[in-house]
Amino acid sequence: MLRWTITFLIIALIAAVFGFGGIAAGAASIAKILFFIFIVLFVLSLLKGLFSK
């Protein structure tokens, strides 16, 4: 999941450099959503590991 976030972030940066504002904004918003999903799943995984012992 984190790999997809980095991929969309790179796409957003490249699109912003070349002046494609709509594509850059779309890719950045997708990257942000994927990053927050990754953080939530990571925290849930940590909590599960703590309470499963």
CA 9 to CA 43: how far, in whole Å? 22
Dihedral sign computed on CA atoms, order 6, 28, 1, 38: positive
Q: Look up the domain containing 25 and give its range.
A: 2-51
In contact, 18 and 2? CB cutoff 8 Å = no
Q: At what angle do helices 21-51 and 2-17 cross, to 10 degrees?
A: 160
Token couple for 22? 């709509």
Query: In this predicted structure, what is the pLDDT of residue 52?
Result: 85
Query: In this predicted structure, what is the pLDDT of residue 44?
Result: 94
Query: In this predicted structure, what is the pLDDT of residue 22?
Result: 87
Number of domains present in the structure of the chain: 1
**Per-residue confidence in pLDDT tens, the chain, 53 aa:** 678 888 888 888 898 888 888 888 888 898 889 889 999 999 999 999 999 86
Query: In this predicted structure, what is the pLDDT of residue 40?
Result: 94
